[in-house]
């Protein structure tokens, strides 16, 4: 079977790394294509995964539209030439149109119901839409839910091993408390027009975190001058190790918030966009919320309760995810069961 995996974001490299390994161990051919995103390319290189760039990352509505056309036009002939049997992607917007025209099955993974426009134009062209169990909408007969999350593909204990020795690369000791402050790039389509904490509020967050030890500010994009001196250049492949050993994490990113919870790291989520899984994690007591405009005192009080009871918090996190599926096994098996009968029929009609 020939599988094409389309990487549209650095996080997709983490998600697909283990499924790609399994598919190849099972004798399948896996082709990887990607948008030209430096961090994604660095992660692919670090994982030893060969890939081809099919479009240059652009920003803004017009830029993303141009990139979509570019991606589709370059991907379509490749699907035919390489006789791909199935495409797999997260979100799917940059993949499904080329695969639809080429009459290849289109598997789309998503956990982001807030990406309304992208979902609206993508889902009708998907062969199957795979979502975590907490996805709040019914997407019809092509919708398949599994118990778990995207992040469980790479933070499940079978695939992630804490390596405290990596901390030495960043001048951190294993017994030195530090906090991670993760600020997003805010360039996704569903981020437009959304409020966020301002510079003074971020400086106040830093001030509060500094009372507990060193603050590692890990941004996804360039920051204002007053914050730049606080940043640390973390290798993308090391980020989860840094997060796993942190005293606590404050993040604008929903993915980082979920990752912190799965690693047992107390977290505070500061974005006004709250996907269903963020609300669920909050209800389950796994993280706190600090949307723009909310008072900081109560949010940080809750964060400190979690951080000062780290072992109990980590045990609670493990109980919550204790009955989740091994999402890697689910995804690998789903693709094989869906496509293998077709892949043995010979040339595509």
pLDDT at 345 over 70: no
Selecting from 3.50.50.60, 3.40.50.300, 3.40.50.800, 3.40.50.2000, what CATH number does the domain 164-320 have? 3.40.50.2000
User: Which segments of the chain belong to CATH 3.40.50.2000?
Assistant: 2-155+326-343, 164-320
| Gap between the Cα atoms of 164 and 242, Å rounded | 8
Element spanning 205, H or E: helix 199-210
CATH number of 2-155+326-343: 3.40.50.2000
Question: Are the CB atoms for 226 and 203 separated by under 8 Å?
Answer: yes
Question: 344 falls in which pLDDT band (50, 70, 90)?
Answer: very low
Q: Count the Cβ atoms, other than its own, within 10 Å of residue 322.
A: 7
Q: Which residues pair with 33 in a beta bridge?
A: 6, 52
Per-residue model confidence (pLDDT) at position 192: 52
Residue whose C-alpha is closest to residue 106's, from 86, 77, 122, 82: 86
Positive or negative: CA dihedral 287, 183, 91, 342? negative
Reported pTM: 0.90
Query: 3-12, 194-203, 243-252 — which is least confidently predicted?
Result: 194-203
Q: What is the mean pLDDT of residues 248-266?
A: 96
pLDDT single digits (tens) 175-191: 889 999 998 765 554 44
Q: What is the mean pLDDT of residues 109-127?
A: 94
Query: 22-26, 61-65, 176-180 — which is least confidently predicted?
Result: 61-65
Q: What is the mean pLDDT of residues 52-64?
A: 89
Q: Which residues pair with 56 in a beta bridge?
A: 36
User: Is residue 20 helix, strand or coil?
Assistant: helix
């Amino acid at each position: 079977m020939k599988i094409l995996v389309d990487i549209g974001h650095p996080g997709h490299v983490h998600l697909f790394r283990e499924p790609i390994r399994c598919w190849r161990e099972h004798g399948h051919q896996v082709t990887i294509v990607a948008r030209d995103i430096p961090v994604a390319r660095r992660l692919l290189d670090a994982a030893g995964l060969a890939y081809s760039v099919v479009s240059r990352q652009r920003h803004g509505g017009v830029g993303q539209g141009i990139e979509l056309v570019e991606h589709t036009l370059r991907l379509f002939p490749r699907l035919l030439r390489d006789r791909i049997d199935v495409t797999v992607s997260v979100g799917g917007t940059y993949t499904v149109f080329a695969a639809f025209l080429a009459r290849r099955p289109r598997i789309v993974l998503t956990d982001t119901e807030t990406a309304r426009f992208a979902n609206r134009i993508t889902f009708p062209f998907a062969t199957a839409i795979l979502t975590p169990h907490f996805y709040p909408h019914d997407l019809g007969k092509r919708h398949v839910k599994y118990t778990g999350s995207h992040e469980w593909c790479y933070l499940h204990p079978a695939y992630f091993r804490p390596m405290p020795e990596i901390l030495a690369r960043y001048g951190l000791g294993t017994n030195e408390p530090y906090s991670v402050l993760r600020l997003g790039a805010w360039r996704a389509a569903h981020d437009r027009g959304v409020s966020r904490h301002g510079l003074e509020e971020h400086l106040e967050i830093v001030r509060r975190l500094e009372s507990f030890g060193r603050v590692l500010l890990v941004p996804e994009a360039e920051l204002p001058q007053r914050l730049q001196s606080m940043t640390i250049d973390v290798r993308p492949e090391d980020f989860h190790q840094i997060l796993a050993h942190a005293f606590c994490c404050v993040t604008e990113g929903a993915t980082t918030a979920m990752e912190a919870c799965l690693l047992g790291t107390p977290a505070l989520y500061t974005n006004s966009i709250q996907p269903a899984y963020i609300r669920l994690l909050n209800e389950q007591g796994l993280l706190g919320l600090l949307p723009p405009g909310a008072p900081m005192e109560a949010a940080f009080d809750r964060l400190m309760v979690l951080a000062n009871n780290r072992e109990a918090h980590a045990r609670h996190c493990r109980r919550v995810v204790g009955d989740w599926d091994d999402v890697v096994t689910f995804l690998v098996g789903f693709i094989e069961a869906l496509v293998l009968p077709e892949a043995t029929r010979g040339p595509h009609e």
